Amino acid sequence: MYDDVYDDTLNETDMLAICQGMDATVLETTALGQEIATLSHHLWRQDVIEVDRQLKALATTETLLDSQRLMLPDGYGSDIVVLAPDALLDTLTTLYTVLMTIFQETDIGQHYRPSPYALRFLWAFASSAYLREAGFHQPPSMSRQVAEQTVMELNQRLTAWYQCLKQPDFVYECNKNRRNSRNNYQRLQALMDALFARHSRLTVLRVDLSYSEHDGPSIDYETARYHRKQLCQAFHTNPLFKHLLGFAWKLEWKPKKGFHYHFVFFFHGHHVQEDVTQARRIGELWARSITGGQGHYFNCNRNAENVYHYNALGRIEYHDFEKRRGLDYIARYLTKVDEYAAMLVTGRKFQTSPMPHVPAGPRPGRPRQPPATWCYGELSF
């Protein structure tokens, strides 16, 4: 049986903190070298992560609406009532509005499957006439009898959702999502550990490779995959990648921009030291040559120390535990995000380079010299 314990994983609060630490807009560069401000794809991700946090909290309570307490006359002596402000009802309305907007009112739902919690919430509440009216317009006025029926219907839907979360298929789906996330994380972490075992210094680049708003919507998955494969073939032929030691990529999709790739590159730190320049050259190769001028790129290394709370880009020494911890956050974030909204394409969505061979026994060559003081967070030793 699958062990659902995933030690030291990022929870929803951690994921939201990482998302909120990123800029709402990024400066993408076109094939002509022009910089264009574009909305970050992290914005709608924040919404689905927050929704999942609230759904998990709600699932632990199994509370229902109190019809008597909710009845609020529309006016003095009136037989027309509205449902009074209520924490549970407000939560249901907010969750309904956000999930319906993201997965049924936009193109996002064509490319992403919501989390198991959200998927079953939509099954239970998508056809609720009251939540649609209250969420997208305003809470409707109704007779007391209709109000009582409305509350009873919402409670029936809520009970059905609670029951769904106890079914074996829900548990299996949650475990499957977490298992995929864990396996991807462990593969990327193992690659980074192996590279540091062989090399005392790495230069780490992160480049987001996408398309223009004009071309992006027409680029299908097969075309994006072809462009990615062309780039990966260049790793063996283009002098730009002469000192490349390893890489990882993740496929995603976002509104207006379509498919895009997050690439993390690991270069030999003694041979590649200008990380911002190297990232720019890779981006230019994608934007101009690989995509024939249709591509955009975002150079994450530029000004990284002022952009990312956990900066792990640029030169990293094997003993720099602070930056290596940042690398771990990158790995966890990139691999965990699919637990909240997984892409629907059937092809590969995440991949790392082959694992380098790490010889057994003592490391050959001159012994590594540790610094006088090693630091990890606020601890020095």
Lowest mean pLDDT among 139-148, 207-216, 309-318: 309-318
* Sequence-distant (≥ 6) Cβ neighbours of residue 60 within 8 angstroms: none
8 Å CB contact between 25 and 39: yes
Which CA distances in Å does 264 have to 31, 95, 209?
21, 34, 11
**Spatial separation of the C-alpha atoms in residues 345 and 325, rounded to whole Å:** 31
How high is the pLDDT of residue 375?
Answer: 39
The stretch 66-75 carries a mean pLDDT of 81
**Residue 250 structure tokens:** 């993740």
The stretch 343-363 carries a mean pLDDT of 83
Burial (CB count <10 Å: 0-12, 13-18, 19+), residue 263: buried
Which candidate, 201, 196, 235, places its Cα nearest to that of 314? 201
Q: Does residue 381 register a pLDDT over 80?
A: no
Q: Does residue 9 register a pLDDT over 80?
A: no
pTM of the model: 0.85
Which candidate, 62, 162, 176, places its Cα nearest to that of 120? 162
Lowest mean pLDDT among 80-84, 117-121, 230-234, 367-371: 367-371
Name the 3-class secondary structure at 193. Answer: helix
| Local confidence band at 266 (pLDDT 50, 70, 90 cut-offs) | very high
8 Å CB contact between 70 and 63: no
How high is the pLDDT of residue 287?
Answer: 96
pLDDT, one tens digit per residue, over 83-138 is 988 999 999 999 999 999 999 998 999 999 999 999 999 999 999 999 999 999 99
Q: DSSP of 299-349, one letter per residue?
A: ETTTTHHHH-SS---EEEETT-HHHHHHHHHHHHHHHHGGGTEEE--SS--
Q: Does residue 204 register a pLDDT over 50?
A: yes
How high is the pLDDT of residue 5?
Answer: 39
| Local confidence band at 308 (pLDDT 50, 70, 90 cut-offs) | low
The stretch 159-179 carries a mean pLDDT of 94
8 Å CB contact between 261 and 211: no
**Spatial separation of the C-alpha atoms in residues 173 and 345, rounded to whole Å:** 17
Q: Is 120 left (phi over 0), alpha (psi -120 to 50) or beta?
A: alpha
